[in-house]
Amino acid sequence: MSQRLLQANQRSVAAAAHIVDRIRLLQDRAVLLARLGRVAEAERTLADAERQMPPGAPRQLKLRFAYVRAIDTYFSKRFGDARREMYAALSQARLSNDQRLIAECESALALFMQREGDVRAALTHARSVLGNGDATHEARYRASLALASLHQDAHDHEAAYRLYRAAHDVVKDLDDEIAMASWMHRAAVAKAAHARQLAAIGAPDKRTVKDAIALLRQCIDYAAQIPDGPATCLDHLLLAEMHILQKQYKQALELYDLHLPQCEGDGFLHEVTVAMADRANCLLQLGQVDAGYAQAVASLRRLDETAPAEIRAIVHENMAAALDSVQQASQAQQHRTMAQAAWDTHCHEQREARRVLNENTTTTLH
């Protein structure tokens, strides 16, 4: 997180003339700290704010503690708990008819539910925020990111690009380096996802891959310039994947070896699973059959019922290749069959997502 934002918040806290203003600023500080990953410090800041609550404080201020706590929970990577807490906060905000807090809760839920793959819920929350005249600029930014990401997940790439471009104008007004880094990351992911999809359907496009690499490197470089900036391990994993699409297996392997351990430690479960499968492919392509086979097996063992269909398909494809490398043709064919079934499921999910997204598409990013 930009120290500039934390320092500006601290000055505002010190200058606050009214206790209610100071408490709201402390709530904001807790959110900033949570986004930085300093969750324990965020919780202490929030507890300090609660101790300062005066008798008769506005109900809206009391309710906002639940919203901030749900944000803290999310950045603790307790995603299920965060979702439940945020829905409870939203329910209370609606009962009080606090439109600004409603927008804050719904903008967070738009991103939460997009992450979980619940297209209809994420879309409903994002459009609600964008139609809420009391929504803050930051809430509109989160909602617009969620909307763009939904189109990206549905492989509606042109719509995703258009929405990311529109979101850029919103994020510039925020003057928030972390928000800008997040926007850059998602825009780069959109281009990488497009490159991956084209390769998956047998129509690889060198220009799209090169564009994705350029955006990922730009994202990594930007984050490196921010004091206490965001981690870029996922960007590096995507960069490795783009190198695979260029058949640059040695470069990809070097990136995986440098960044996979950090991503696994940070709790990026599905991303690590698919990266391990792709790393197995690199090892096999480089003639390291035993290591490649072992890595493919390790990736396969990580699959569970929560794994997205696309990831299941990639893991089974690479497991099939590993089995071929050790002359297990019958088992390899079984995994190819499972990969094809997963691809079919994935394509069905994308079609359904596009259908939902194209219903009542009048919401804008005003």
pLDDT band at residue 128, thresholds of 50, 70 and 90? very high
Dihedral class, residue 202 (left if φ above 0, else alpha if ψ from -120 to 50, else beta):
left
Residue 169 burial class via C-beta count within 10 angstroms: exposed 0-12, middle 13-18, buried 19 and up: exposed
pLDDT tens for each residue of 352-366: 998 998 876 544 443
> Contact, 68 vs 93, CB < 8 A?
no
Distances (CA, A) of 298 to 95, 291, 322: 49, 11, 12
What pLDDT, in 10s, does the model give residues 21-76?
Answer: 888 888 888 988 887 778 888 899 989 888 888 888 888 889 999 999 999 998 88
In 3D, which of 149, 159, 156 has the Cα closest to residue 119?
Answer: 149
Which residues are CB-contacts of 233 (< 8 A; sequence separation ≥ 6)? 259, 262, 263, 266, 268
Domains of the chain: 231-366 (1.25.40.10)
| Two structure tokens written together for 78 | 């307790």
pLDDT tens digit string along 76-120?
888 889 999 999 999 999 999 999 999 999 999 999 999 888 899
Residue range 137-194, pLDDT digits in tens: 889 989 988 999 899 888 888 888 888 888 888 788 777 787 888 889 988 998 998 9
The answer, yes or no, to whether residue 264 has pLDDT greater than 80, is no
pTM of the model: 0.76
CB 233 within 8 A of CB 263: yes
